[in-house]
Amino acid sequence: MIVVGVPAEHLDPVLEALAAAGAGVVGNYTHCAFTSDGTGRFRPSAAAHPAYGQREQINSVPEIRIETFCRRANARAVVEAIRQAHPYEEPVIYLIPLLGEDEL
């Protein structure tokens, strides 16, 4: 599973980048993902270049959490696609291994 939070105005470009890199494929379906609303919190250092908020202050940004998946062989390309499409200098990307039904 791949999980990443993104500001709402960047949702579609990130979802498209994920799909183009091979994420979200289930049988004859593509672009499969689950999204939910949340709030990202962070404190950029003085050396950071935040896309949102102020350096050296706690910032909160409304985000949409994207949950999707890909084959292990596509994982590196999917992470790179997120980094290219995401507005944040350091997006938090969770990569969580899952079992498929064929592995039970």
Residue indicated by tokens 């592995």: 103
Residue 51, both tokens:
């896309």
Burial of 81 (0-12, 13-18, 19+ CB in 10 A): buried
DSSP for residue 64 = E
Q: Are 64 and 36 in contact (CB under 8 A)?
A: yes
Segment 16-29 shows an average pLDDT of 98
- Helices marked H in the chain: 11-20, 75-85
Is residue 85 over pLDDT 90?
Answer: yes
Q: How far apart are CA 63 and CA 4, in angstroms?
A: 10
What the chain holds in terms of domains, given with CATH numbers, is: 2-103 (3.30.70.120)
Radius of gyration for the chain, computed over Cα atoms and rounded to the nearest angstrom: 15
The confidence band for 71, taking pLDDT boundaries of 50, 70 and 90, is very high
User: pLDDT tens across 46-56, in order?
Assistant: 999 999 999 99
Q: What is the share, in percent, of the chain residues with pLDDT greater than 70?
A: 100
Q: What is the pLDDT of residue 102?
A: 83
d(C-alpha 55, C-alpha 44), whole Å: 5
pLDDT higher than threshold 90 for residue 100: no
